[in-house]
Structure 1
């Protein structure tokens, strides 16, 4: 079984200073969490999320906020949801949200965040190596700071016609930046790869940026 892998990017997280300081204790700016099996991954991510502070903060991802007005309201799936910042934001905007994550600790924090915001989200504790996205189910599928190429066909099938995918992940240019030691190249997008992966979709937004802290590709695309 392929290891589940996520990039904890503290340099790019929208944390308050206190949250960032807490999250960075014992780590460099970037921490790669991987394992030989799902239980190893689960244990390591549970440890990352065990702190009281929200590792990525409570504010939603910039790419989601900037494009929220063009997303068709309905059912949304948040892949590798983490502590729920994006799922809760979508719920506040009227979406019916399913959030999937390997870490039970992250899911508990996501539920807590939803309660604070007085919204509801459905949470699914699952290994994304084996999780099956229901076909033709979602108006929006969100994939932020997670790269599992084998999921791309499922994302496409999981969207209804006219549905939109919002996708963000670091590119290989990240390896040229400071504090990127230990990041595996196969968990980074090649330059131009994300756009190519969704070339059969209508591209609504695409960018690749390197601000000296993160090298990130962002895509918003509609299923024809």
Structure 2
């Protein structure tokens, strides 16, 4: 989706996905070593980035939306933490390799043709021995109508994700239902793919 789409989406005065971190990130964040450098990909309004900064990590967040990044900075300020914000189209520009101890992404939905590039950039941004943690909606999510893009092309296939992560140690892989109540946009039972890998 375009920068204009996300700017329109995040221009709402409310935090459209809420201010609290995603439940999967909350559950898995303990795997990240203390005082890590963490990259947050397609991070939107910053709820997960701010949560990780509150845990003591050095956090950089990437998104293409000016409004999303501004709201990230506001939320970080409210929480008395620092989060570095970088405006970038993650479907066009690769993030530097081997700079982070961990990377996360929550519902970073891009067109199918761009998904391998985004995944490769995120995995490559992490140093050997580092962790990548992400949760996305699966193609089955269309049946649930509880959030996520209304287009099959923007959702993820579990077999494709397995092929993208196969060169790394898979610590956690889940394909199935999960309850997600996050702001106005994710409400109720959905169908997700969850991954934790170690490079």
- Sort the TM-score into its range (normalised by shorter chain): 0.7 to 0.9
C-alpha distance in 2 between matches for 1:83 and 1:135: 24
User: Post-superposition shift, 1:60?
Assistant: 0.5
Is residue 2:78 matched to residue 1:116? yes
C-alpha distance in 2 between matches for 1:65 and 1:96: 17
Tell me how many residue pairs correspond in the alignment.
184
Is residue 2:128 matched to residue 1:144? no
User: Post-superposition shift, 1:81?
Assistant: 1.1
Is residue 2:29 matched to residue 1:68? yes
The corresponding residue for 1:9 is none
C-alpha distance in 2 between matches for 1:150 and 1:166: 17
TM-score by length of 1: 0.76
Q: Spell out the pairing of 1:19-168 with structure 2 (5 A cutoff).
A: 41-73=2-34, 74-147=36-109, 148-168=115-135
Is residue 2:190 matched to residue 1:214? yes
- In structure 1, runs of 5+ residues without a counterpart are 6-40
User: Post-superposition shift, 1:180?
Assistant: 7.4
Give the root-mean-square deviation of aligned CA atoms: 1.9
- In structure 2, runs of 5+ residues without a counterpart are 110-114, 179-187
Q: Deviations over 1:91-140 (max 9, x none)?
A: 11111111111111111111000001100000011111222211111011
Greater CA drift, 114-123 or 195-204: 195-204
| Regions of 4+ moved over 6 Å | 179-182
User: Post-superposition shift, 1:190?
Assistant: 1.6
Greater CA drift, 181-190 or 77-86: 181-190
C-alpha distance in 2 between matches for 1:77 and 1:96: 9
Q: Spell out the pairing of 1:193-208 with structure 2 (5 A cutoff).
A: 193-208=160-175
Query: Is the CA contact (8 Å cut-off) linking 2:107 and 2:148 kept in structure 1?
Result: no
CA gap of 1:177–1:111, structure 2 versus 1, over 3 A, is same
Which structure has more strand as a fraction of its residues?
2
TM-score by length of 2: 0.85
Which one has the largest radius of gyration?
A: 1
Q: Deviations over 1:47-79 (max 9, x none)?
A: 111121100001101111101111123111111
